[in-house]
Chain A
């Protein structure tokens, strides 16, 4: 199955090559802006058009929207710096490396993938042994668990790889404290100690803070991949795939990045998500991947007919979640991936129990009934 760029939704064509926006008429810009909005990529679109020197060619009405996105993006970037500083201060006494994950890592490390990227939570990775100390320190500084329901608390604390999300009482910002990158109940559990050992310190931030780290480049890509391809929910699929694309483009220029990536993936039991990441980045975004890396990861992919099925699912779910990109099979693909996402998270009996509880017993469910 070959994916021709001309068959892709407009937003993906512009993400592959911003010059695809150059010849658009008013209706084309209307569609492009809408697809970007629904993918939460308006500020990313602005960055791409500006870098390509194409902003002036956008019609005035679209430029107004892009400037709105710039304002929201700048505010977001400022808020992230502030929030990370506050988290750092709260954890200053604990003598632990503060490892930022996902969006906040891209932003604080000044990566391409962070430019124009909006996200709602700040994710950090800490050693499991220090989870209680981290939680207590955050509570002392104004964060509180958002899930008070006993079942939810147990769900997170026993089965998941993170504390229940904590929200700052005054600022309302949410932090997710992880001790691993996949749930305790999942079949595959990459060793977080290996990730922490390879983590990279960010150059000088405030001295009063624990040193900030991000995952090493290969691990950052693998985390991004496993996060995207184990999820059950793809409303931000295009944006997350574009994160991968930008990480691969930027890190791919570093010596040894591509050569070591397949081996590192296998070491962390993440060969399959890497296979998907490379496959769908290439298909949908035209990401350049060296032949040798493709050959080295080929064996980690699923065999037929599963591969054809996964193509059918991911090539639908990774398109922007906009009605203009939806085909007749999109809802089915999203539904199957939702079940798959939960399936990967926990064994069948446990999942059945969990979904039963969520549907009929939790306070949310009772409110809905």
Chain B
């Protein structure tokens, strides 16, 4: 199967500037168009291993990120996202083109793909067990996710856990892991060989860089996973590692609060979330040392609860 890496960079750029690049991420085909060089570079670096479809078929999402026209070409250039002719978001400074791309890729899924319960959570798999890490921003979810990924865990998703409504399995949507602020240096130190995109400063979330998903996770994007644990992580400087079991009701509410489309799914969302909670053990997890946390997760996945 053709991947992004098979396309010479000039061909990739021509594709993006012309008919669009149809990139496969998990269950979705994304047709991407852009005339922005940083975005071509970012996709070449972080999406090298992803399959590419021939243009002209059916694509799930059509995204266009172009330089804003007029005087904006010369004065404080901007990137503008358009989606089926509408521009749902304000343009951003051109330097933020790549983070914006990742963000709108998430947006396309989270507000439309209602065949899944979509949880704002990282999800990883090891020894056949998937662990869901739901968390509000600032909890250290992505740092933990990135660290685990660099230690051989299969990345299912960093931002969105897709729980299929029909059968409750998790569908992989492995995409680059977003790292913010201090996390960037922490992961660089933790995994010096990891591939990171150039950090982009001054976004509304601070400095952002993306970690490339492991090729093995991408090639196994078609393999669903059984959820085994839901772990609500919290990074707390100096705290000892603790794990506290959560009651089913609290876990249910905790996940519902972190779900993008729980409300939209109505009864089916309630049923799917109930089944997920029944099928998993839920914990609150507090940590301060990444190494300790990674070792702990290894034991959890190997031995079970």
Contacts and interface: CB of A to CB of B under 8 A. Distances in A.
A65 B60 CA distance: 8
Contact of B62 (A26, A34, A74): A34
Given A26-B57, A27-B57, A37 B115 contact: no
Interface residues of A, number: 25
B55 to A, nearest CB: 9
B58 A75 contact: no
A333 to B, nearest CB: 15
B5 interface: no
B249 interface: no
Nearest to B82: A323
Nearest to B114: A71
B7 to A, nearest CB: 21
Contacts of A340: none
10 contacts: A26-B57, A30-B57, A59-B58, A61-B58, A64-B60, A65-B60, A65-B112, A68-B113, A71-B266, A74-B266
A62 interface: yes
A321 B84 CA distance: 8
B86 interface: yes
Interface in B52-104: 56-60, 62, 84-86
A71 B266 CA distance: 9
Given A29-B58, A30-B57, A30-B58, A38 B264 contact: no
Interface string B250-279: 000000000000011110100000000000
Contacts of B29: 61
Nearest to A322: B85
Contacts of B85: 38, 321-323, 326
Contact of A68 (B58, B59, B114): B114
A27 B264 contact: no
A70 B86 CA distance: 22
A208 B86 CA distance: 42
Contacts of A254: none
From DSSP, what is the main secondary structure of chain B's interface residues? loop
B58 A78 contact: no
A149 interface: no
Interface of B: 29, 56-60, 62, 84-86, 112-115, 263-266, 268
Contact of A27 (B58, B62, B86): B58
Nearest to B31: A30
Interface of A: 26-27, 29-30, 33-34, 37-38, 59, 61-62, 64-65, 67-68, 71-72, 74-75, 78, 235, 321-323, 326
B114 A27 contact: no
B86 A75 contact: no
Contacts of B263: 75
A68 B84 contact: no
B101 to A, nearest CB: 19
Nearest to A75: B264
Nearest to B56: A27
B266 to A, nearest CB: 5
A34 B85 CA distance: 10
A27 B59 CA distance: 9
Contacts of A75: 263-266
A30 B55 CA distance: 11
A74 B264 CA distance: 9
